[in-house]
Amino acid sequence: MTLSTLLGSIFRLVLSVTAGFLIESFLWPADSWTWRIQDLAYKRRAPLPPDTQIVIVDIAKLGRAELSYLILRLSEARPQFIGIDAIFPLLQHPSTDSLWASALCQAASRAPVFIACSLDLSKPLSEAPIQSVSHALFTRCAEEAFANLILYDTNTRIVRECLLYTVSDADTAFSLGMQAALALKPQLAERLPYLPPRMFIRYRGGLEHFYYLSGEEVIRDTLPLSWIQNKALFLGVADPFRQTLEDIFFSPLNSSPLRPSFPDMYGVAIHANIASMLLHEDFFIPIGYGWVCLLMVIAYLLLAGTSLLLRKGPWRSAGIRLLQVALIWGSIELTIWLGVEGHWLPVEPLLWALLLQGEMEIWR
């Protein structure tokens, strides 16, 4: 190999690697390919059993009077955590409002009660302070935890990431899912400095992957609820028949392979998935870009070696093209396999580099 050939190969390698990162960073929506490829990992992941530490309670059709009786019944069973994924911004009627406020205080004396709030997004997301969205009458005894879900596209409403906590002016505010995990597993607080505030959600599943209660049935029924003792309860819209689209989102578990389609997942179930991920420490482990660069180099060496071995002509182009397609397919399969194993490979730069490397070797 002559010096000019070696320098040309190095130039093409650096050009393809640099172009891959530049296209991924500036010209293509962030992580769009990686997300779609990682979504396929859920199709291959072995089904997980329900998380027996978490109970989702549907309150879709309940007024404040019914909610008052419901939360008192639930709190009598001494759960470890009660999270309410709903807001109560306005006063409706003096009697029901005072009843609901009193019930929240009584429940809070038996178990930690957290009611959903929002973040003040006038500041960066990881530094945004919380802001109350419920009337002060209802947050007198109940604590607040933010329920913001990260959406990159408000039209598709696909939730793939979560914000665990924010730090604003030396005050730390926790999400609803994080507060539930801390209530069930206090030692998780020791790991908090090592957990990034923003994480990819490793979903366990939909409503069928958690214990489920219908709020209406709890009110009507007199069956004992002692089995929910020491569990985390999430109260919110969670109709198993999907008769309401209120607070519903899409998730990577969506059954449609090409575009999101109903039915999918309510917000309260996403909070439950976040809490379950934290409890079991079942996280996606990001793979650094150093490994991505190594894969780019290996791919280029394979393509360049094949280009040198094959004689000029149609078979050379066909051989390089076939290897290029095989490497792209192999990169996708590697990403899916790593996703099943709990690793997150940012594959987009590698795919762009493979496209460019193949074309350069064919036309060289």
Query: Terminal CA-to-CA distance of the chain, rounded, Å?
Result: 16
- Rounded to an integer, the average pLDDT of 80-109 is 95
Task: Tell me the C-alpha distance between 279 and 109, whole Å.
Answer: 25
pLDDT tens sequence across 135-170: 999 999 999 999 999 887 666 678 999 999 999 887
In this predicted structure, the answer to whether residue 229 has a pLDDT above a threshold of 70 is yes
pLDDT more than 90, % of the chain? 53
Give the tokens for residue 281.
């420490």
pLDDT of res. 181: 96
pLDDT of res. 153: 63
**What is the 3 state secondary structure string of 112-177?**
CEEEEEEECCCCCHHHCCEECCCCHHHCCCCEEEECCCCCCCCCCCECCEEECEEEECCEEEEEHH
- Rounded to an integer, the average pLDDT of 13-30 is 61
pLDDT tens sequence across 312-350: 767 778 888 889 889 999 999 999 999 999 999 988 888
In this predicted structure, the answer to whether residue 262 has a pLDDT above a threshold of 70 is no
Q: Quick one: how far is CA 50 from the chain centroid? A: 18
pLDDT of res. 43: 87
Q: What is the three-class DSSP state of 286?
A: strand
Check residues 359 and 93 and name the one with the higher pLDDT: 93
pLDDT of res. 17: 62
Say if residues 180 and 82 touch (Cβ distance below 8 Å): no
CB-neighbour burial class of residue 243 (10 A; exposed 0-12, middle 13-18, buried 19+): exposed
Say if residues 84 and 237 touch (Cβ distance below 8 Å): no
Task: Tell me the C-alpha distance between 4 and 191, whole Å.
Answer: 53
- Rounded to an integer, the average pLDDT of 159-183 is 92
